[in-house]
Structure 1
């Protein structure tokens, strides 16, 4: 299959799945790029989260941004390689990664504990935006994807209906999620310092 064919194929299947789920009144989260589609390394993580969790921690990778499915798949692989091979984590640190292509990339998923924020890993979902958002904002479609993911988490009972959203800098000494992204998430309904 061509480089373009694989992303288009899974996007079409995701859309078909979306229609089928809506017809059956099932909870639907929109397309989340599964690990196999971005060629994730196998995970060695086993620690489960106790769902629903009460917190979400939003960060940025502070690395290269991506704005196409091909670039975002590569960036997700780069982040996982750094975490698993260099930092010796059991997998990519985050539960989900958001690309500026407007897609959500499955990291550890809803039920596996992340390594995104010390002392918060066992009680929070970690969502990261791929890129550096100190001086620029993420693309609107990336912000919509993150908000859709949060709504999905509540619908799936993975997030408490009263969950609190925090910036990475609210729970750890860091500049993450970047000044521009932080200003945006401070306006979201569930944000708490």
Structure 2
């Protein structure tokens, strides 16, 4: 359900935290080789960046995703993240809501892996991408895929890496529920 209508006295409030999510079929993904694994609810959100050129249009993001998927499938069964976020403001399905990712050892089965498309070591993602990521987290809570008291971490907080880049890290460390240490 993309919209929820709630009656408060005589006032109707429409909420729609979910950003636009482009399905794997819509962006032209290859069939993944991962075994089905239904994961009902997660405790963590892990933020990544792809260290690739950014994409600013849906067409450019679809091309980037196809290239990244072909590259990652040389080593893994599919794209490793749950979702990927373009600077066009769209979210792109990778493993999706109910399959575990291949993005953060020891956290894969208990986290949503969100990857910003681009290299954010020195520059920050644009506001459209930041808003899409924050709305995706709210959407995950609404869909009961993420517990309300989740913990947000950067990839570098759970693995020895510079990911998600210094510039992006300096943004997400001020987001609600961020916790660098375990």
**TM-score, with normalisation over the residues of structure 1?**
0.84
Q: Which has the higher strand share?
A: 2
Going from structure 1 to structure 2, the CA distance change for 1:28 and 1:136 (only over 3 Å counts) comes to closer
Q: Which has the higher helix share?
A: 1
Q: Are 1:152 and 2:139 matched, yes or no?
A: yes
Q: d(CA) in 1 for partners of 2:27 and 2:173?
A: 30
Q: d(CA) in 2 for partners of 1:28 and 1:184?
A: 20
Q: d(CA) in 1 for partners of 2:16 and 2:95?
A: 20
Shift of 1:123: 1.1
Q: Which of 5, 8, 18 lines up with 1:29 in the alignment?
A: 18
Q: How many residues align?
A: 173
SS of corresponding position for 1:122:
helix
1:93 corresponds to: 80
**TM-score, with normalisation over the residues of structure 2?**
0.89
Q: d(CA) in 2 for partners of 1:51 and 1:160?
A: 10
Q: Which of 11, 27, 41 lines up with 1:38 in the alignment?
A: 27
Q: d(CA) in 2 for partners of 1:184 and 1:59?
A: 12
Q: d(CA) in 2 for partners of 1:184 and 1:48?
A: 32
5+ long unaligned stretches in structure 1: 1-16
Shift of 1:29: 1.9
SS of corresponding position for 1:74:
helix
Shift of 1:190: 1.2
CA RMSD of aligned residues (A): 1.8
How far does the alpha carbon of each residue in 1:4-48 deviate from its partner, in whole angstroms, 9 at most, with x for none?
xxxxxxxxxxxxx95xx4569797623100111110001222242
Runs of 4+ in 1 over 3 A off after TM superposition: 21-28
Preserved CA contact (<8 Å) 1:22 1:28: no
SS of corresponding position for 2:171:
helix
SS of corresponding position for 2:108:
coil
2:11 corresponds to: none
2:119 corresponds to: 132
Q: Which of 61, 68, 74 lines up with 1:79 in the alignment?
A: 68
How far does the alpha carbon of each residue in 1:76-112 deviate from its partner, in whole angstroms, 9 at most, with x for none?
111111111x22x111111000000110000010110
5+ long unaligned stretches in structure 2: 7-13
